[in-house]
Amino acid sequence: MTPLAFLVPGPLEQATGGYIYDRRVIEGLRRDGRRVAAVSLAGRFPDADATARASFAAALAQLPDGAAAAVDGLALAAGAECLAAASRRLRLVAFVHHPLAEETGLSAAAAARFAALEAWLLPLFRGVICPSVATARSLIGYGVGEARIAVVPPGTARPLAAPPVPRGGRAPLRLLCVAAVTPRKGHLLLIEALAGLREAAWTLLCIGSLGRDPQAAAELRRAIRRCGLEDRVTLAGEWPPDRVGTAYENADIFVLPSFHEGYGMAFAEALAHGLPIIGAAAGAVVDTVPETAGFLVPPGDRAALADALGRVLGDAALRRRLAEGAARAGALLPDWDAAIRRWGAAFDRLVA
């Protein structure tokens, strides 16, 4: 098994899907006996300030010739000044959760800048590991050869017991959203859609960081107040994984109208817990969530989102069918042990 350094932008303990995947891979490979050096890069990402660029260059400079390293794609822009030279003496593999240029809320200029950087830098790597076919298509568009791309979906955290179908007949119904509050995740759109459904009996629990994008979190709080939903919506912030698992078990419906997902680990976890799903047909979500498990509406379509929410909230038989479909789909998802074995095999193939 090839030893490797794993370059991560910032603290590895962050509770987003990408960082959870990074952490699971590092811990799993070590458990399997592979030497893995986790390197937390300093600075601001993905914008790559001077500190980030210096930290990235220093991390690569410390590796001996021929060493193998994985680079989280969120750190990619920090390598603009050093990757070309480093790629000639090191065996580098990128781990791209989703392209930087596809982040929601970027200006046209910023999106074009990230797209140009990715199209320049990604072909310098020996290969790229990504979590979905949808992300692989974007990588091919950047000029990465299909043979140098490995699609490795993450593992899925499963409940200890099979999810109940149907879930309880209580009121109000409990909606659950698990995602850091950023523009890409669509929290504002969700609040606007729910504002027209006050007559239905529901509450919404939002679990996810409120600090990754303070401006987005402030806008979300203002929208909740403006719509008069303070007594129905809870912004809980980040929770540890075991507590998030309890939230899935206690929920009735999962909802997350993301504008883009490179994979969507929260959707997979909702499937594993047998939750009816309401989301957007964006990025890899369409490959993760089957029609039998929920409704996927056009990204950004508030009216379609409100209609889907209203249908699922108002029809117990529909919720039962979707819950059954979710449980069937969730049972087919890979566990973390299988995902880590596939990731390690893909890395070894690409660096070779």
Helical residues (DSSP H) of the chain, grouped into ranges: 17-31, 50-61, 83-89, 108-121, 133-141, 187-195, 214-226, 241-250, 265-272, 285-288, 302-314, 316-331, 336-351
pLDDT at 158 (0 to 100): 80
Which superfamily does 4-155+335-351 belong to?
Glycogen Phosphorylase B; (3.40.50.2000)
Q: Which residues contact 98 (CB under 8 A, 6 or more apart)?
A: 73, 135, 138, 260, 261, 262, 263, 283
pLDDT above 90 (res 348): yes
- Closest C-alpha to 15, from 153, 181, 261: 181
Mean pLDDT of 11-28: 93
pLDDT above 90 (res 85): yes
Q: How far is CA 13 from the centre of its chain?
A: 15
pLDDT at 50 (0 to 100): 96
pLDDT at 157 (0 to 100): 82
Q: pLDDT tier at 2 (50, 70, 90 boundaries)?
A: confident
Portion of the chain with pLDDT greater than 70, in percent: 97
Q: 173-331 in CATH: which number?
A: 3.40.50.2000
Sheet containing strand 36-41, edge to edge, reads 36-41, 4-9, 68-72, 91-95, 127-130, 149-151
CB contact at 8 A, 178 and 204: no
**Maximal CA-CA distance, the chain:** 65
Measure the CA dihedral 272/277/283/284, to 10°: 20
Is residue 18 left, alpha or beta, with left meaning phi > 0 and alpha meaning psi from -120 to 50? alpha
Q: pLDDT tier at 105 (50, 70, 90 boundaries)?
A: confident
Between CA 166 and CA 154 the distance in angstroms is: 28
Q: Which residue has the higher pLDDT, 32 or 105?
A: 32
Q: What tens digit of pLDDT does each residue of 127-186 get?
A: 999 999 999 999 999 999 999 999 999 999 888 766 665 565 678 999 999 999 999 999
Q: What tens digit of pLDDT does each residue of 201-238 get?
A: 999 999 999 998 999 999 999 999 999 999 999 999 99
| Beta strands 91-95 and 68-72, pairing class | parallel
pLDDT at 220 (0 to 100): 98
- Look at the chain and count its residues: 352
Domains 4-155+335-351 and 173-331 share a fold: yes
Amino acid at 39: V
pLDDT above 70 (res 60): yes
pLDDT at 234 (0 to 100): 98
Between CA 309 and CA 255 the distance in angstroms is: 9
Q: What is the DSSP string of 235-299?
A: EEE---HHHHHHHHHH-SEEEE--S--SS-HHHHHHHHTT--EEEE--TTHHHHS-GGGEEEEPT
CA atoms within 13 A on the CB side of 224: 18
pLDDT at 104 (0 to 100): 86
Q: What residue segments make up the domains of the chain, in order of their start?
A: 4-155+335-351, 173-331
* 169-178, 278-287, 329-338: the lowest-pLDDT one: 169-178
CA angle 222, 225, 231 (to 5 degrees): 135
Mean pLDDT of 340-350: 97
Residue with tokens 């409120």: 210
pLDDT at 10 (0 to 100): 94
